[in-house]
Chain A
Amino acid sequence: DTGVSQDPRHKITKRGQNVTFRCDPISEHNRLYWYRQTLGQGPEFLTYFQNEAQLEKSRLLSDRFSAERPKGSFSTLEIQRTEQGDSAMYLCASSLGYRGYGYTFGSGTRLTVV
């Protein structure tokens, strides 16, 4: 297992378009997290899954953001009608259980909205 994989690494999109990012966690990890990181800031928690159940989504930034993990393996994060303020790095992490030491982060998807 090579760790947490995110695809694509970079995405440039026009304002108003929809974008979808994929995260493949470490295979034995049951928890999967999405974070957003803007320039000069630390990662900001968005949502997480335990297996296929989305247990926290109140911190998704708006109703334009949605995430799925249909079979408890990979996850997708979709942003509809993108805005320039959505430009950021979107990070995925996975863990076995909830303890912080177990989080492994992917390299992120950098989104630029023009």
Chain B
Amino acid sequence: GQQLNQSPQSMFIQEGEDVSMNCTSSSIFNTWLWYKQDPGEGPVLLIALYKAGELTSNGRLTAQFGITRKDSFLNISASIPSDVGIYFCAGQGENNDMRFGAGTRLTVKP
């Protein structure tokens, strides 16, 4: 089962608004990753984080690796309609397998 708690489960926002979602775990991870999945497709990597405290940006996306190594957040600034989709956090631990959160479904109203 899932070891990662991702919130919120869904968000309905207006185009242009900023978005924030986060992920927490009872386990320590060495790598945190954020993926986006469109309907009928596999997840696509957005951002990868490798060090506790690391803050990384990719265009309008910013993600941070929590100091405790048990949490991460993803921010999307100035949302646009193509940001619609499901966002997943994933953590990779000592044994290198990757665990996913249950996802945040984002809807952007034009």
> Which A residues lie at the B interface, using CB under 8 A?
4, 33, 40-45, 48, 56, 91, 93, 98-101, 103, 105-108, 110
Contact = CB atoms under 8 A, between A and B. Distances in A.
Secondary structure class of chain B's binding surface, majority of residues: strand
Given A98-B96, A103-B98, A43 B31 contact: no
B103 A42 contact: yes
A41 B2 contact: yes
Interface residues on B, range: 20 to 34
Interface in B30-69: 31, 33, 40-45, 48
Contacts, number: 58
A42 B31 contact: no
A98 B40 CA distance: 26
A40 B102 contact: yes
Given A91-B42, A101-B33, A43 B100 contact: yes
B43 A99 contact: no
Contact of B43 (A43, A44, A98): A43
